[in-house]
Amino acid sequence: MVCHWSRIRPVFSVSAAILVAAGTQPNTVLAREDGRIRLDGRYFQAVDDTGAPVTVVRGLAKPDTTHVLMHRADNGRFISFFGDLHPSFAGNVVKAMGGVKQGWPVVAEAIARLGEPASNESPSEFIARMNDLFRARVEAVNRLTPSIVEVVVRAPQAARNFYPGEFYRLQNFETLAKRIDGTTLAMEGLALTGAWTDKERGLLSTIVLEMGGSSDLCAHLRPGEPVRQSATTLPQAMSPSPLTTAWAWPRVRASSGNKVAWMPP
pLDDT for residue 256 is more than 60: no
State pLDDT tens for residues 59-110: 888 888 899 999 998 888 898 999 888 999 888 888 889 999 999 999 999 9
Using 50, 70 and 90 to split pLDDT, how confident is the model at 198? very high
Let me know if 165 is exposed, middle or buried by CB neighbors in 10 A (0-12, 13-18, 19+): buried
State pLDDT tens for residues 8-45: 666 777 776 666 555 567 888 888 887 888 998 889 99
The CATH number, out of the four listed (3.40.640.10, 2.40.30.10, 2.40.50.140, 1.20.950.20), of the domain defined by the range 130-232: 2.40.30.10
Percent of the chain with pLDDT over 70: 79
The whole-number pLDDT of residue 245 equals 46
State pLDDT tens for residues 167-194: 888 999 998 988 889 889 999 999 888 8
In the chain, ranges of CATH 2.40.30.10 domains: 130-232
Let me know if 28 is exposed, middle or buried by CB neighbors in 10 A (0-12, 13-18, 19+): middle
Beta pairing, strands 179-180 & 136-145: unpaired
pTM, two decimals, is 0.59
Helix (H) / strand (E) containing 112:
helix 93-112
State pLDDT tens for residues 207-235: 999 998 899 999 999 999 999 988 765 55
